[in-house]
Amino acid sequence: MPEILGFLLVACGGWFLWDSLKVRELANAAMRAACKQHGLLFLDDTVALQSVWPVRGSNGHLTLRRVYDFEYSDTGHNRRKGSITMTGAAIEALSVTPPIAID
């Protein structure tokens, strides 16, 4: 019995890692596209996971809500923070403050 439990724990951990990497890549792609669309620089070319919570998706199934933070620049000389919320593999919210360039 302990062997089965150990196998299940390893399998669940492997699924969580695989799913997290997939969703992170989707968040990265969404941020690259959003920054390009608004003429912003997506700094460090990556998002950083801030939280993971189980939630009910739009179809009623249990899924994970992940919040990622990222940094961008509107002038190339500053760093601003933004966030993207993913529910499953779907974008739930994208927070980018309006670009402010002071010359």
Region 2-27 average pLDDT: 93
Where exactly are the structural domains of the chain? 2-96
Q: What is the pLDDT of residue 45?
A: 85
Q: How confident is the model at residue 101 (pLDDT cuts 50, 70, 90)?
A: low
Region 66-82 average pLDDT: 90
Model pTM above 0.95: no
* Structure confidence by residue, pLDDT tens digits, 52-73: 999 998 888 899 999 999 999 8
Count of residues making up the chain = 103
Q: In terms of C-beta distances under 8 Å and separation of at least 24 residues, what long-range contacts does 43-52 make, across chains too?
A: 43/70, 43/71, 43/72, 43/73, 43/79, 44/70, 44/71, 46/70, 47/84, 49/20, 49/24, 50/83, 52/20
